[in-house]
Structure 1
Amino acid sequence: MKIGLSDVEGRVLHGLIEDASGDIVIRIDRRGFIIHATANIAQLGFDFSEALLLPHITDLAECDHAATLGDHVSAVLQGAQPSGWVEFPVAAAAAQDPAGVPHGQRWYAFSLRPMIDNDGSIDGALCLLRSVQRLRLLEGELYNRAVTDPLTGLANRQAFCAGLRRHLAGGGGQMVAVFAVDGTRALLLRYGQRTADEILWGFAKFLETMALPGHELAQLDGERFGVLLPVMSLRAAREWAEDAVQTFAALAVPASARAPQLTASAGLARVECTVDWTLREAELGLVLARAGGGGRVAVAGYRRVA
């Protein structure tokens, strides 16, 4: 929808467009309704040229973010000092191309400056809408790198501990398992780092296939893997871990007498007290399982090897 602008508004708008290449410039009235928008607003999927009713600025945002955007706009239109940029995902109707194919959530940053009338009153505002999708994607990628093990693609210890803290905050009681391929250090010394990495990567993928819905996997360090079993009793967790250990041993049968026989062991513990306590108990169970010859599952609290 395009309504004529005064000469002053036109010069301000022209300057904004020159200074903000690629930004969408919007003019709103004192109630927040859009009375003018640059043609590139069409990239959001909006076309106000044929609109009979003035759309409101909050119509651009997804429902969950419309109220926040509306509060920000209302405050500025009532004389509050503009508080920088507000970020929000555009409405679902805007997140698709002209053929109706959805793009997924797209984030934009919004800033506005009030327009002052001759008598000093606020007569609407000029707004800038700037895409921050690339920045959001970059932030997401950086976050994923921060919580993901680069070798296996599993969550790392930091992310796993954060998950344990969330469960502890809810009362705890879940089961956690710590797995490791037996003799990892000996394999490293005999075959080298590349072969050891391949074995760890393969074991990580094996655990992913064995994991049930709701299980949370992570690589805790160079040789140990953590699995959070949130809906299992001690007995069910033990049976699942034993099945995983036995299945791995069966799949890792060497093709020749010269190749090593790979086995894995696991320690189980209940999520309780603190993160450090929980992991220490599970890792103590792993030590007991390995002390019994490997290829086993142990629960540290019971001091008994399966």
Structure 2
Amino acid sequence: MGVMITPQESSALYELLAEQTTDIIIKTDCDGFIRHVLPAGAAPPELAGGRLEGCHLLDLVDTPFAPAVMAGLRATLAGRQESKWVEFRSPRQAVPGNWFGLRMRRLLDEDDRPYGAVGIIRSIAERRSFEERLFAAAMTDPLTGLTNRSAFSWMLQHMVEGAVSGCLAMFDIDHFKAINLKFGHAAGDDLLVVFADLVKSLTRSQDIISRIGGESFGVLLPHATSDQAEAICRRIVTSLAEACGPAGGDRLRLTVSAGLAPIEHSLDATIKRAELALAFAKARGRNRVETASRQRSYWQGSIPGSDPESRIAH
């Protein structure tokens, strides 16, 4: 025996279900104006000040998400998008937890013509926050708080593909293994943090600093000329040496070597030239900056056909 539900009973059930969820149920017309909201007055203030009825869908979303929301409405009315969630951020970006998902289903009249859509708006702030934390953990070096090698490679690749001019600097703290052996790994970790802070204080706001290995750091210097990049690198090298002073007693002299190369047509070529320049800095006594252009001039002026990769060891 079937269960018959009258329209009045259906409406009461609809309202009961709406009261048991944090989701917001809306009904729109074909133009995207919201004609009805359940539960009444339950919308958070970051969505049109909490008053949704009479608003347009676009009043709820930040500008970059407007095309996706309207495309979702059009697809729903055409019967092509009955179950897909559209995620958006509200215009009030300063308010925490302003990420939402919208899912819509079209409403048809007696002649099977769409006259609007019913939708669910759901807060996805917790999930987005969790995803952002996961992303940050995957892309961040936990010791220094800098981006890690994976993030560094991704950002360099982005600059290469976008033909962004600039330079790549690579730094290695000199004799780091000896520091760990003499003073312990805790002291070595402290030195890495101090050096990371030093680099942050001496680079520009647009520069991207990453810890790419144990004692190795990479700095992307977008739009910097070779002279500008070299001046920044020299400031870092000189500042560390001056801050730590000469060796003596139980102290090791703390210095850093740097290799500098312009960003080229490929990620591998850029990294290779910076690494070779860094190896050249170490081979010439450490505590110095060497550039890829100077390294190339050196080899071209020495033995014809000599290969720097075979002559310089890291």
Query: Could you say whether these structures have the same fold, taking a TM-score greater than 0.5 normalized by the shorter chain as the test?
Result: yes
2:23–2:122 Cα contact (<8 Å) kept: yes
1:218 aligns with 2:222: no
1:77 aligns with 2:69: no
Higher mean displacement: 273-282 or 201-210: 273-282
Alpha-carbon distance, 1:67 to partner: 3.1
Q: Deviations over 1:204-229 (max 9, x none)?
A: 11111111232211111111111122
Give the corresponding residue for 1:207.
199
Give the corresponding residue for 1:10.
11
Amino acid at match of 2:57: I
Residue correspondences, number: 287
Amino acid at match of 2:228: A
2:140–2:147 Cα contact (<8 Å) kept: yes
Alpha-carbon distance, 1:15 to partner: 5.4
Higher mean displacement: 121-130 or 154-163: 121-130
Amino acid at match of 1:147: M
Give the corresponding residue for 1:98.
none
Alpha-carbon distance, 1:251 to partner: 0.4
- Compared CA separation, residues 80 and 172, structure 1 to 2 (3 A): closer
Q: From 163, 179, 187, give the equivalent of 1:171.
A: 163
Alpha-carbon distance, 1:192 to partner: 2.0
1:89–1:105 Cα contact (<8 Å) kept: no
TM-score by length of 1: 0.83
In 2, Cα distance between equivalents of 1:243 and 1:81: 57
1:291 aligns with 2:291: no
Q: From 146, 149, 163, give the equivalent of 2:141.
A: 149
Identity %: 33
Give the corresponding residue for 1:244.
236
- Compared CA separation, residues 90 and 240, structure 1 to 2 (3 A): closer
Amino acid at match of 1:220: I
In 2, Cα distance between equivalents of 1:286 and 1:81: 55
Alpha-carbon distance, 1:128 to partner: 0.9
- Compared CA separation, residues 117 and 236, structure 1 to 2 (3 A): closer
- Compared CA separation, residues 257 and 64, structure 1 to 2 (3 A): same
Alpha-carbon distance, 1:104 to partner: 5.5
Alpha-carbon distance, 1:68 to partner: 2.2
Q: Deviations over 1:145-176 (max 9, x none)?
A: 11111111111112222222222223355221
Give the corresponding residue for 1:135.
127
- Compared CA separation, residues 60 and 197, structure 1 to 2 (3 A): same
Give the corresponding residue for 2:312.
none
In 2, Cα distance between equivalents of 1:61 and 1:17: 22
Amino acid at match of 2:42: N
- Compared CA separation, residues 172 and 127, structure 1 to 2 (3 A): closer
Alpha-carbon distance, 1:120 to partner: 4.3
In 2, Cα distance between equivalents of 1:252 and 1:12: 74
Give the corresponding residue for 2:307.
none
Alpha-carbon distance, 1:65 to partner: 2.1
For structure 1, the residue ranges without an aligned partner over 5 or more in a row are 1-5, 96-101
Aligned-residue Cα RMSD (Å) equals 2.6
In 2, Cα distance between equivalents of 1:224 and 1:244: 14
1:183 aligns with 2:184: no
- Compared CA separation, residues 64 and 280, structure 1 to 2 (3 A): closer
Higher mean displacement: 261-270 or 74-83: 74-83
- Compared CA separation, residues 31 and 130, structure 1 to 2 (3 A): same
1:58–1:67 Cα contact (<8 Å) kept: no
Amino acid at match of 1:14: E
In 1, Cα distance between equivalents of 2:226 and 2:76: 58
2:105–2:119 Cα contact (<8 Å) kept: yes
1:156–1:219 Cα contact (<8 Å) kept: yes
1:180–1:223 Cα contact (<8 Å) kept: yes
1:272 aligns with 2:264: yes
In 2, Cα distance between equivalents of 1:107 and 1:137: 9
Amino acid at match of 1:246: T
Alpha-carbon distance, 1:186 to partner: 1.2
Amino acid at match of 1:290: K
Q: Deviations over 1:211-248 (max 9, x none)?
A: 12322111111111111222332233223212211111
Alpha-carbon distance, 1:48 to partner: 5.3
